[in-house]
Structure 1
């Protein structure tokens, strides 16, 4: 599962979006994942921004767009507008700040309120290299009850980030492929029914 040259024609394109409170490290996660860089002094994101990475997943060439969003309350209406077209959502909280973990329920609810189609969600506890305010056991229990996978990451140490994004991208791609397959099958069934209806109509004779 290696990164591919951007000049290679991709078979699929998926969109992943990071959400969570301000200053939990969403921008740092993206910078480390896409550019393999870390800066402790990233500015807060205004609105939304994205970066692109090319991957091979399950033998498919995939263009992955990773969207960064602002965590401040005044930007949340803008952020929610991007849920609908996303294939995967990463909810990020700061392990050193309990309030950001408490807000995870709010972010989960916002996904349920806005998203029309089923979407894959992963929970990320960031800054595992620092003194934590939330235990791993507590988060794992919450993640299990919420039926979402959980990863712990460190942008400074580059811990768990590639594995987390690959897991989300793989889940999102498989869901997209399955959705395409089901739509194709449904369309074929509709065509078959229409042909049968027309053939049945031809069987009628006039006096």
Structure 2
């Protein structure tokens, strides 16, 4: 996993007879480099920081210090001939940090609106977060991400059904993919960012959708 920037060496010149200028042109790196800014938005303690750290550093800690303001991390991946750097911005969920929302939302390619699957109040808050963030960025691709699926899985069936139904309703209204994930159990973390890439570049993904209540929902194809 590569969370830093690396200089890419150009391909060796195969056209020796075209002179020095042509040789220098051939040494220009042929890889495309793209930066995708992704904003993580939602109430405090829903797992925004842990999702970011899990994706970038592949580690999970039960205890995270509450984000004061904005966190920022990067991870670079290579897909075919393109180097993609995810620039991930994590906004503290307390009300006093709302004034920093423009930092996170502006110029983002995707906005992950996150809620805790085991706390329905955090899902209810998504309406306000969505409205405010859209005021700063109307073009970013929205995602609705339910966290702590491992805790949600232990809830009574009726409660799981109610939360899933409401989340599907919100995702439909937002025209957003809906993903349930767990950082501690490593469920659907990588898939979130694969779907971000597929939506950003209009690529087809072969990841099967998961639609049944009680399972880690993954709905993205029809939005």
Higher CA-based Rg: 1
**What is the match of residue 60 of structure 2?**
38
Alignment of 1:1-207 (within 5 A): 6-9=5-8, 11-57=33-79, 59-115=81-137, 117-131=138-152, 132=155, 135-173=163-201
TM-score calculated relative to the size of structure 1: 0.76
CA RMSD of superposed structures (Å)? 2.2
User: Deviation per CA, 1:18-53, whole angstroms, max 9, x where unpaired?
Assistant: 010000000110111111111111011111121111
Q: More helix by proportion, 1 or 2? A: 1
| Structure 2 gap segments, 5+ residues each | 9-31, 204-223
On the 8 A contact 2:142/2:174 being kept in 1, the answer is: no
Question: CA shift at 1:83, angstroms?
Answer: 1.2
**What is the match of residue 181 of structure 1?**
none
Partner SS for 1:136: helix
On the 8 A contact 1:119/1:172 being kept in 2, the answer is: no
Residues in 2 aligned to 1:165 and 1:141: alpha-carbon distance in whole angstroms? 22
Residues in 2 aligned to 1:84 and 1:26: alpha-carbon distance in whole angstroms? 18
Are the structure 2 counterparts of residues 128 and 84 from structure 1 closer, same or farther at C-alpha, using a change threshold of 3 Å?
A: same
**What is the match of residue 28 of structure 2?**
none
